[in-house]
Amino acid sequence: MDKREYEIMKIDCRGLACPEPVINTKKSLDLLDDNALLEVLVDSNASRENVIRFANNEGLSVSDEITEDGSVKITIVKGFACSVVDPDGDKFLNKVLFIKDDKVGEGELGSKLIVGFLKSILELPKLPKTVICVNKGIYLTTKNTAAVEILQELEKKGVEIFSCGVCLDFYEVSDELKVGVVGNAYGTVESLLNSDGTISL
């Protein structure tokens, strides 16, 4: 790719908290014409994953590389959009399972109930399209072994699973994520608003 053929915009999102890197990326892309390059600098893995996922969801060509100072430079080409037909689309309901805690209720019973609910979802003829874990719900994707195993099975069936990046950092379990990917506030709000309904636990 010869960058001299493209208009190039550069933005520095290092040090910005979620969801600012994604929002700034979107705003910058909106300002660019087709056949333009956007270079985004970030300094965390969560920001890297979130910006790349946003670009992929928009159908744009994206690549990344490590810079000399250890930052990540993400290059997005605007104007190279593609659409993909999901052959398994009829397996899913356009609904979001929004999990805010690692229990339903309190104590040991609450822990058993949440695992029971997740296990029941596996048996449904149609699955929720997306599972989003926030607040202590992120323990279901990190520390709760039984829940992790069920969520891994859901992921194999094609369910998208996101854990709030800010929450992972707050509870200091970012390195313990065992299923799904790191999510961000922009993606969460977009999923909730674009769904046909939200189931909250």
- Walk me through the domains of the chain, giving residue ranges and CATH numbers: 3-78 (3.30.110.40), 89-200 (3.40.1260.10)
For residue 79, the model assigns a pLDDT of 76
Range 124-138 average pLDDT: 95
Considering only CA atoms, which of 59, 129, 52, 57 is closest in space to residue 98? 129
Range 71-95 average pLDDT: 76
What Rg, from alpha-carbon coordinates, does the chain have? Answer: 18
Ordered strands of the 7-12 beta sheet: 7-12, 36-42, 72-78, 61-66
Has residue 154 got a pLDDT over 50? yes
Range 84-106 average pLDDT: 82
pLDDT band at 89 (very low <50, low <70, confident <90, very high): low
Phi, psi (deg, nearest 5) at residue 72: -115, 130
Residues 14, 41: contact at Cβ < 8 Å? Answer: yes
What's the mean per-residue pLDDT of the chain?
90
Has residue 87 got a pLDDT over 60? no
Per the document, the length of the chain is: 201
